[in-house]
Homo-oligomer: A and B are copies of this chain.
Amino acid sequence: MIDSAILDRFAALLGPKGFVTDVDAIAPWVSDWRGRYHGTAPALLAPASAAEAAAAVALAASTRIPLVPQGGNTSMVGGATPPADGSALILSLRRMNRIRSLSAEDNLAVVEAGVILSDLHDAAAAAGRRFPLSLGAKGSATIGGLVSTNAGGTQVLRFGTMRALVAGVEAVLPDGTLFDGLSALRKDNRGYDLTQLLIGAEGTLGVVTAAALRLVPAATDRAVAWVGLDTPHAALALLRRLEAALPGGIESFELIPADSLDRVLRHIPGTRAPLAGAHRWHALIELVGDDARARMEAALAAALAAGLGADAAVALNQAQEEAFWRLRHSISEAERASGPAAQHDISVPVAAMPDFLLAAATTIEAEFPGTDASGFGHLGDGNVHFHVRAPAGAPADWANGAGKAASARVHDLVTAAGGSISAEHGIGQMKLDELERLADPARLATLRAIKQALDPRGIMNPGKLVRLASEPPRP
């Protein structure tokens, strides 16, 4: 437990709005949204400014109190859930929610960590620009978390992950000093790139308090299509053909197997299939640019005539576009409604993904009788979410019990294919053991050396991403 005299010092530093101990007020923030990790915290710190955040971290450093940085609490890997023993405080960035500046001419926004992604989308749109990163949790996920996890989403194909969109960050380092890397220089070769180091560090090397983000011109026209396909190989061939026919315009290419679509139609009210017939695989495709609908229709007609795809529909209006996308974004929710499953956010080289998808599903289903496996998601990035559904009658926490063996096997297959056991969700606490089991020792040693050098007291999000030699494994 944390000494109450120390808690009093945090309270005095941050004031009543910035220091929350009410159990009901804290309750939403001590468990992850998927309900897999449950922690506890004697207080939630909510600084209102970078200076307050720096002061809070400095106090934590001097008193050796661990901090768990948190934004919208939408981590898929328990990355923002405090430990169960109440030994850490939550450091919430949600009160730091100002868009400090947004320049259409410079295509740049300087945004505080607590700004919600969809709010940034709206602000950019009001200025005739876009922030081209989006994902299912956009109504809750915050910029600080998106930067700290190098978030991906559905537009990586064209614009890259968060890493490609961050021009600079402001962050509080583990000793409480404020690092100001916001100056948005297009070129700056003054040594190791600390901004790049903080991107994807999951709050273990400091707390991102603001970021300078790149904007792109607003979309002119947009077209969303749904295509039925026989194999993931046909889907990749279709993607390559469309990229050649519509250069630079394809922003999303999502692969969805029949079982995922069926589950959505069964569990999510108001959804319906875009195509009349049954198909084993589906692709959801978004094109942006002048005359997008006409060009999409022409390119798809030619592709179908060439045998790449069995049937296709282009959404006729915005409502239909949103309905298509809702099918994709509802997969996780439908999955949860339909029973326990072990989920894996994995990547392999793009060209290897179709074979991998089929072979991995076959292997897992054969080795773990009664399971049912498939992957969906960002085919063009070589990244799918590969789910192994529990056998009938399995307990709700199957994924954390018997399902662990299946997960380990999925990760073995990915590693053997030269892939990553975390494509976009990060490591958090969920994948830490697997990272230690499977990572190249040189990589692991370097991660630990960096953590030890920059956070020698181990106060920044301990138990997530990297474990120091002195830290015992989790029970």
Interface residues of A (CB under 8 A from B): 105-106, 149-150, 152, 156, 161, 163-164, 173, 177-181, 183-194, 196-197, 199-201, 205, 217, 240, 247-248, 347-351, 378, 381-383, 418-427, 435, 439-443, 445-447, 449-450, 452-454, 465-466
Number of copies: 2
Contacts of A423 in B (CB 8 A): 185, 187-189
Q: Chain B's nearest CB lies how many Å from the CB of A53?
A: 14
Question: Which of A189, A194, A450 neighbours the largest number of chain B CB atoms within 10 Å of its CB?
Answer: A189
Question: Which of A150, A190, A348, A421 neighbours the largest number of chain B CB atoms within 10 Å of its CB?
Answer: A190
Contacts of A465 in B (CB 8 A): 191
Q: Are B189 and A424 in touch, CB under 8 angstroms? A: yes
Q: Chain B's nearest CB lies how many Å from the CB of A129?
A: 13
Complex alpha-carbon distance, A466 and B189, angstroms: 13
Contacts of A424 in B (CB 8 A): 187, 189
Contacts of A442 in B (CB 8 A): 173, 177-180
Complex alpha-carbon distance, A145 and B277, angstroms: 56
Q: Are A186 and B350 in touch, CB under 8 angstroms? A: yes
Q: Are B186 and A466 in touch, CB under 8 angstroms? A: no
Closest to A196 in B: B196
In the complex, besides A179-B443, A189-B425, 14 extra interface pairs with C-beta distance below 8 angstroms are A180-B440, A187-B378, A188-B347, A189-B200, A190-B420, A191-B427, A191-B443, A191-B447, A192-B197, A192-B450, A194-B446, A194-B447, A197-B450, A449-B454
* Known contacts A178-B442, A454-B449: A189-B150 contact under CB 8 Å: yes
Closest to A183 in B: B418
Q: Chain B's nearest CB lies how many Å from the CB of A346?
A: 9
Complex alpha-carbon distance, A453 and B468, angstroms: 13
Contacts of A248 in B (CB 8 A): 248
Q: Are A452 and B453 in touch, CB under 8 angstroms? A: yes
Q: Are A183 and B349 in touch, CB under 8 angstroms? A: yes
Q: Chain B's nearest CB lies how many Å from the CB of A418?
A: 4
